[in-house]
A = this chain, B = another copy of it.
């Protein structure tokens, strides 16, 4: 019964999401999550590899919802370039919120990043598709030169993620208490403008 199984998985994910946002990753115990999901804590290991895995699944689920909402939000904008910039900067703001919500220290963040990358693929596919679509619309509307939507979308996403990644790294080596997102937003916006100008007629 794969359906039942998924139901229970979701039940756990929901409970975990509540716990993690209330107590943060470190302070949430599997006992907490188990109790909230009405499972024995040992049972969680049947559905998830370990606590980190569970956490990542939670964050990814939240990300999907958020990004979908964000995609809807930018659609009304007039030009494709604006939609793209709004989406990619909104995405960065989200990243920042998540860390804050789950009380993740830069330390932990570092530890999680590689694991995120594993699970990130599915979401990324969807994001790529969305960006490709925007780009193709831009071409149709004669906003952009003719281009390969997928390649360009991939480039945009990679740039956006690269800038985010670099900022996190720098914060760590600078022994900063938290990431200062203002310059990152600016840098992202500037770079995107350049890139999109490059695509422009």
- Which residues of B have CB within 8 Å of A8? none
Q: Contact between B101 and A22 (Cβ–Cβ < 8 Å)?
A: no
Please state if A103 and B18 are interface contacts (CB–CB under 8 Å).
no
Map CB proximity to B onto A92-106 as digits: 1 under 8 Å, 0 otherwise: 000000000101011
Is the Cβ of A105 less than 8 Å from the Cβ of B175?
no
A191 interfacial by beta-carbon distance below 8 Å: no
B105 touching A177, Cβ below 8 Å: no
- Give min CB distance, A154 to chain B, whole Å: 34
The yes or no answer to A21 lying at the interface (CB within 8 A) is: yes
CB–CB B26/A105 < 8 A: no
Inter-chain contact A22/B107, CB cutoff 8 Å: yes
Which residue, of A23, A101, A103, A107, has the highest number of chain B Cβ atoms within 10 A? Answer: A103
Select the residue from A27, A101, A107 with max chain B CB neighbours within 10 A: A27
Shortest A28–chain B CB gap in Å is 10
- Contact check, A24 vs B105: say whether CB atoms are below 8 A apart: yes
Query: Do B177 and A106 have beta carbons less than 8 Å apart?
Result: no
Residues of chain A having any CB pair with chain B under 8 Å: 18, 21-24, 26-27, 101, 103, 105-107, 175, 177
